[in-house]
Structure 1
């Protein structure tokens, strides 16, 4: 299993995405429904209105009964990938990766997985300037477009205002929206966007990205912390504050997860210190449920 730091060290986002995702393709994680596809599944009795081209005439001649050949066809859907590119995503973990580095790898792998499933994939990079949006496509040139946009994404400023994100809410097409964010917000701006997206497009999967050193508070001695979005600083003794911090961060994570699920989002917490497989597995689980 490749660690995120090894994937990042490749310095090749398309290759890293392929390496991270291909292990999940071995089991052919395809969503299926019965229909008029190519792979035979079962027979069922003919009913008025059925397509006669699917009627098995040989079986009818032998049994004097009419049966329809049902098959399984691969289904596809639209997957909207959202990247929080606010400045807090520049926080760096002890393994050298920033949250934004990890998010790039994860979204590239998700895009690769989705395309292998035949899905149309879009990408929206959310930054203070507003919105960089690549509309959903399923053609062979979409992945290079997405990779290029991810490679050039930089973390800066605060999460964009709602007025700047209006184009995301204009569509009415059902889709699976996947948002990668650390969920640091001032006035519920991220939650508001996801709530509106769920109303207009359906399922929302929130991949809550935290740095390993945020979760463990691995700092030592006197430390000066700076808010990457406001510039405010705070000096403290790490040993004295560790216990209180860890309690508060766990309470916040618990409250955040509860609130997300209460609002109908699928929620999954992940760490920049962990491999991508948990998030990829969660995406495939959610995708399969959405396809039916």
Structure 2
């Protein structure tokens, strides 16, 4: 599988999504159900109320018995992709990718993969100016819509207010919600939104995205850090503060994971330097389990 840097270098989101996901489809055994699809599976006896269009009339003429042709079709699912597009997602890693760059590529690959499974896919981009929401659809034009929304998404400001978010949870609709966020919040607004989505929609897969230079604290010497959402600045010596930073970071990551799992989210931490393998695998695992 290509690295995130190579995929980003293509400067073509549809192509990058396809290349990231296609190899992952090979050898996967998908959950299937009986239905009226195209691939023949077996016969079963006719029962009152069955669709007569599925009756095998030739077999009935030969045997004087009435059977329906059953087929296998892929189980389908509604997938709700959620992108945190607050200003902290503009943080760049040492490989040149921002968190937003990585999230775009990852969500595009997930959208492609879900579409290949016949799933209805929707997208919500969380932005303080308002939500950009594409309702879930399974038609052929949905994937280009999703790509365009992701390509034009910009990260800015802080997390949307409760009033802005209210339409997302106003309607109950069973779905697998997949949220990509760095989980930087002033209170518990991200956790609160995902808790409400879990209550109204069902499963939540939280992909907690961190830059590798944050995780490893690869900075050297005197550094000025700026909070991208508040503008506050902090000057420190990175070499002197590395041990304390990493200790506090690990404590925060443990607390974040523990809280997410306590609320029933399927939580996974990702690095902007890592391939998309884990996230794609978790999607397929949740899809089969559902």
TM-score (norm 2): 0.90
1:29-108 to 2 correspondences below 5 Å: 29-35=29-35, 37=37, 39=39, 51=50, 71-108=71-108
Which residue of the partner structure matches residue 266 of structure 2? 266
3-state secondary structure, aligned to 2:33: strand
In structure 2, the CA distance between the partners of 1:226 and 1:170, relative to structure 1 (3 Å rule), is same
Which blocks of at least 5 consecutive residues in structure 2 are unaligned? none
Separation of aligned partners in 1, 2:73 and 2:144? 27
1:242-253 to 2 correspondences below 5 Å: 242-253=242-253
Separation of aligned partners in 1, 2:151 and 2:235? 34
In structure 2, the CA distance between the partners of 1:50 and 1:251, relative to structure 1 (3 Å rule), is farther
Q: CA deviation at 1:167?
A: 1.4
Separation of aligned partners in 2, 1:69 and 1:140? 27
Q: Is the 8 A contact 1:111 1:121 kept in 2?
A: yes
Q: Is the 8 A contact 2:46 2:55 kept in 1?
A: no
Return 243-252 or 206-215, whichever deviates more. 243-252
Which residue of the partner structure matches residue 215 of structure 1? 215
Q: CA deviation at 1:47?
A: 10
Separation of aligned partners in 2, 1:76 and 1:91? 36
Q: CA deviation at 1:55?
A: 9.1
Separation of aligned partners in 2, 1:52 and 1:171? 32
In structure 2, the CA distance between the partners of 1:37 and 1:257, relative to structure 1 (3 Å rule), is same
Which residue of the partner structure matches residue 133 of structure 1? 133
Which residue of the partner structure matches residue 8 of structure 1? 8
Separation of aligned partners in 2, 1:52 and 1:150? 42
Q: Is the 8 A contact 1:4 1:275 kept in 2?
A: yes
In structure 2, the CA distance between the partners of 1:181 and 1:29, relative to structure 1 (3 Å rule), is farther
TM-score (norm 1): 0.89
In structure 2, the CA distance between the partners of 1:258 and 1:67, relative to structure 1 (3 Å rule), is farther
Separation of aligned partners in 1, 2:27 and 2:162? 40
Query: How many residues are aligned here?
Result: 287
Q: CA deviation at 1:171?
A: 2.1
Separation of aligned partners in 2, 1:132 and 1:255? 30
Q: Is the 8 A contact 1:29 1:284 kept in 2?
A: no
3-state secondary structure, aligned to 2:218: coil
1:90-111 residue CA offsets vs partner (Å, 9 max, x unmatched): 0000000000000000011111
1:90-169 to 2 correspondences below 5 Å: 90-169=90-169
Separation of aligned partners in 2, 1:134 and 1:227? 30
